[in-house]
Structure 1
């Protein structure tokens, strides 16, 4: 058993709640832009004073609508300015926010609203309203339903005009640090989602220590972040609250399809994302270079960036020759890549899945360091992250200051700290299992090095055991295979089987480019190419790269390219892009059997 901790850098208030942040900002930084709002194609600033005024107006409307202290209010919307506004308005009314993914099915909506006992829901669109209405008969406690795209903000503000400032002030002070701020339902990789109860204290401990440890990334009046991940996910909430706590300018992007354009117009200093986002940036840049006849130059530049980053971690640092090569490629390639990312940023934060050592070195080598972290809904997002001044690529960093990470005898990662959830809503048995002996049992397998840097090597419940008795952690090889531009998703199989296999889906964007470069008919689909010898050879190269990271007994011996994608709609992946292995295994059982057919 091994454990590591760092002293707290932020003193959690003994009382109070998250609404104290917006009141403090309006008092101490009234004219500082704390939000960016997109209207008519133009980003406009919202100052701390203006944001507080808008929050108060909406909060009064919620009170007038019957929302009481401790009531649960569901919020179903894409990531947008109104999401953040409503989140703080719900807290200002003394209530508890229950986020719902905007891609949720009516059955999922019914479960979350019903289990949480939501008394009111705010949705984004008419389609969302229809989904709620379709299950409303099973939601007897739901008394009100408002729609953002039907002027909910203006309507709530108008309806609360008669609520006095004294009434609102009392509501804003009603919740204590140990009261629930939100109930975030887990993505549900197995079974029904469970509601994680996160208190105001948990967010103070989490965001306060993140901001203090990453101080150069959160400079008031200078720094900015563009949030394009789901605000309903705890990772998005971390950035929302941390941005307000700092405070720095926060912009929200509902549609990731316009990400490149919005990075150029918003020009954030800090970017956060999941590994797939950074893989896409790399693969898109490489594909464009190849299409322009500059593929060899790009590959040489990438090799230089990785070598330069690796040298930074050595006592002697980069050699003079490597520094010269790096300077040349910075003008030719690296500066252009940084421009694609907005041109102002030097750091990004990545979570949700392992980034991969190669990609981590590439980005640091081009002057854009991706700080990898690790966390769960139950840990209020990041429970470990790489410090800006001492990142160790290939790890998820050191524990959140003020918390403890322990590696149990069986390798499981255990957590302790004020940022950890207090339990699952209405689920005492699951709470007792997860919070045994005062430690949160993550279900992840990991190691701690001598400096307290954590590495995650797999999931305790996802370990495959082949017929030969070999334990296989799927994540390691899956991440390497998925790094190939042609691969969208990869799922390793082989539990109880004679060898390890894999299901592979193709990235539709890069499939079109690959097909054109290899003389395949325009518009050729994955279904048409899944048996193509050239395509199979290319996927085999991705598999070979993945196999290089593991032992022979753990390597993928056979794979199947699928004709379709793993989709959130079909239940194959969660909104945070985690595989629901049991669902994939069931839906593609025939493909798995084909791998092991004689």
Structure 2
């Protein structure tokens, strides 16, 4: 059977995984200060109870159940339960504002919402949601108040209802699973659009099972692997990684607390982890700044080791053998520096996977130099996450790899990337015209990204709508410039390149509070807050040095002539970032239009 014709549902895939390896570890999760494990059979018991509870609540086949929660074991179990009950999950980021939560829950027609806590439930009270019948709370609290006429119960109470139903009707959930087909709706994921209302992307069971089968064919992973998962499960990349797990059978350690990533890596000792570029940028910046802060011989050894490591990495990228002298120095560099970096991440990482946004070459090379491979991939919500990924045996830095088995790419005459394959969505929920705008009759999805194919490997250069044309007629790629800047300037958090119809390119820059704290303490400015630091002449000089380094790597017309250091970082809460941490470029430019105009006077 080919990857494009896998004839089962996601629920069948879960059932099959439990049947094949019932006693194997499925998930590991934090319980207080320690970790608890679930076998596949344990997971099945929890899933069946919750699925039966949903059936008992009257959730019908095809109806939508929302999950508004951070990444945790309950999210995974609830999502599996929704699908085993024959319903479809609508994902809601926990950081989503109340008005947008109301829009997503209402537009998708959710009849039940599984909410993490009282704060998530409170958002539901701000909208008219006539179809909503019940709210299930993961973390019970005395002050939970649902909208009028909506029942409230805890996750434990839902499971108890399920156990009661299964005692009366043991086949209640099996009947729902047996009725599912690959074409049934499995998930509605609302694009955290950078403009306008989000659109609900309809992903079928076949989309998810395709992803698992396609990645399995690449032989990247085995049942012996251990994944560390912190990614938002409301995002397709996190959800896809669970689908791959069901197909292959490895275990996953789950904790959505970003502040504990490094600590957890040391404890869990995973063999792989998926992440967004910002995580890898922060790791690189933190390690580099910490070592430079020590100064002296330690900093010099660190810099020497990475010069050696980068030389070896670039030699490997040219498909040339590393000479004996470089190999000998690399052995010393590894013993003095690189081995310690890998040990801090658990010591067993075979590779990282980077997705959701472009990863700069400088960051990828830094990790490769340290013996930590980052496999950059490419995908959209509309493609169920991955449609391309680099391979460990042939990683080509600067590309997002070849297409997954069963996926095709085509480059349109204007450079736009078109995708066709088993992961492509069935359409936008309730928006046939918007669907027709991006999905043509031959099944090609128009991605809105610009790129090129070389020897079967895809390179993504920018978003079509983000390309800047200066008043002099020169085209500027913001993503390229922004990626380079964050790679060369470890104190940066975000940069937004501006210049459409302007004489030159400029930028709005925000600083990383964690990185700046160490710098400020070292320079006697530790008493200043971020707003005060952003205006300080020494900080302006520091940022100028980063911009100068950036400009040295760009074509003349791409260089940043002027910039503004903003008083605070961009945030989801202020509407400047999407829940998946992408910059809402137009929102930021409109918000700071006066500052930008001043740069061109």
TM range (shorter): over 0.9
Residues 145, 315 of structure 1: CA spacing in aligned structure 2 closer, same or farther, 3 A cutoff? closer
Give yes or no for the alignment of 1:225 onto 2:227: yes
- Is this contact kept in 2: 1:305–1:363, CA < 8 A? no
Aligned to 1:47: 39
Q: Which whole-Å deviations, capped at 9, do the CAs of 1:163-213 have from their partners, x for residues lacking one?
A: 422221110122210111101000111100000001111111122111321
Distance 2:281 2:10 in 1: 35
1:111 to 100, 103, 112: 103
Residues 226-305 of structure 1 correspond to what in structure 2 (within 5 A)? 226-293=228-295, 294-305=298-309
Residue 548 (structure 2) aligned to one of 544, 560, 583: 544
Aligned to 2:139: 149
Indicate if the aligned counterparts of 2:285 and 2:491 stay in contact, CA closer than 8 A.
no
CA distance in 2, matches of 1:123, 1:132: 10
Distance 1:351 1:548 in 2: 27
CA contact (8 A) 1:458 1:475 kept: yes
Partner of 2:165: 162
Q: Counterparts of 2:246 and 2:434 in 1: how far apart (Å)? A: 33
* CA offsets 1:67-101 (integer angstroms, 9 cap, x no match): 11000000000000000000000000000000000
- 2:312 is aligned to 308
Distance (whole Å) between structure 2 residues aligned to residue 358 and residue 272 of structure 1: 19
- Quick check: 2:66–2:105 contact (8 Å CA) kept in 1? yes
Equivalence map 1:304-383=2 (5 Å) = 304-383=308-387
Give, in whole Å, the separation in 2 of the partners of 1:423 and 1:144: 28
Check conservation: 1:34, 1:244, Cα contact below 8 A.
no
Counterpart of 2:209 in structure 1 is: 204
Q: Give the TM-score normalised by the residue count of structure 2.
A: 0.94
Does the 8 A contact of 1:478 with 1:546 survive in 2? no
1:33 positional shift: 0.3
Contact 1:9 1:401 in 2 (8 A): no
Which of 496, 504, 509 does residue 514 from structure 2 map onto?
Answer: 509
Residue 373 of structure 1 and its aligned partner are, at CA, apart by 0.6
Q: Give, in whole Å, the separation in 1 of the partners of 2:524 and 2:30.
A: 42
Per-residue deviation, residues 390-415 of structure 1 (Å, max 9, x unmatched): 11011111111111111000000001
Give the C-alpha shift of residue 361 in structure 1: 1.7
Tell me the distance in 2 between the aligned counterparts of 1:346 and 1:548: 34
- Shift of residue 315, structure 1, vs aligned partner: 4.1
Query: Residues 547, 211 of structure 1: CA spacing in aligned structure 2 closer, same or farther, 3 A cutoff?
Result: farther
Aligned residue for 2:82, secondary structure, equals helix
- Aligned equivalents of 2:578 and 2:261: distance in 1? 21
CA distance, structure 2, for counterparts of residue 186 and residue 198 of structure 1: 12
- Residue 561 of structure 1 corresponds to 565
Identify if the C-alpha distance between structure 1 residues 289 and 587 changes in structure 2 by more than 3 Å, giving closer, same or farther.
Answer: same
Q: Which residue of 1 aligns with 2:505?
A: 500
Would the alpha carbon gap of residues 288 and 55 (structure 1) be closer, same or farther in structure 2, given more than 3 Å must change? same
Shift of 1:541: 2.7
Q: Residue 451 of structure 2 is aligned with which of 446, 450, 456?
A: 446
- 2:171 and 2:190 map into 1 onto residues whose CA distance is 34
Q: Indicate the SS of the match to 2:165.
A: coil
User: In the alignment, which residue of structure 1 is the partner of 2:147?
Assistant: none
Kept after mapping to 1: 8 A contact 2:439/2:446: yes
Alignment deviations for residues 106-161 of structure 1 (CA, whole Å, 9 cap, x no partner): 101110001000011000011111111232xx100000101001283321111122
- Using CA pairs below 8 Å that are at least 6 residues apart, which structure has the higher relative contact order? 1
1:274-325 CA distance string (max 9 Å, x none):
1111111111111221223322221222222211111123343111111111
Distance of 2:320 and 2:83 partners within structure 1: 52
Aligned partners of 1:308, 1:113: CA distance in 2, in Å? 51
Query: In the aligned structure 2, how far is the partner of 1:317 from the partner of 1:63?
Result: 61
Distance 1:117 1:396, change over 3 A: same
The total of aligned residue pairs comes to 582
- Within-5 A mapping of 1:340-489: 340-438=344-442, 439-449=444-454, 451-483=455-487, 484-489=489-494
What residue number does 1:4 align with? none
Deviation at 1:9, TM superposition (A): 6.7
State how far apart, in whole Å, the 2-side matches of 1:9 and 1:361 are: 35
Contact 2:277 2:359 in 1 (8 A): yes
- 2:212 match: secondary structure: helix
User: What CA distance in whole angstroms lies between the structure 2 residues aligned with 1:545 and 1:457?
Assistant: 21
Moved more, 292-301 or 50-59: 292-301
CA contact 1:490–1:505 (8 Å) conserved in 2: yes
Distance 1:153 1:326 in 2: 53
* CA distance, structure 2, for counterparts of residue 9 and residue 369 of structure 1: 29
Offset at 1:11?
A: 5.9
4+ aligned runs moved over 4 Å, structure 1: none
- Name the stretch that deviates more: 174-183 or 298-307: 298-307
CA contact (8 A) 1:25 1:49 kept: no
Unaligned runs of 5+ in 2: 141-152
Match of 1:13 among 6, 26, 45: 6
**Hey, what does 2:145 align to over in structure 1?**
none
Q: Distance in 1 between matches of 2:557 and 2:40?
A: 57
Deviations 1:424-451 (A, max 9, x none): 00111100101124311100000111x1
**Separation (CA, whole Å) in 2 of partners of 1:315 and 1:583:** 43
TM-score calculated relative to the size of structure 1? 0.95
- SS of the equivalent of 1:443 reads strand
Task: Give the alignment partner of residue 27 of structure 1, picking from 19, 25, 41.
Answer: 19
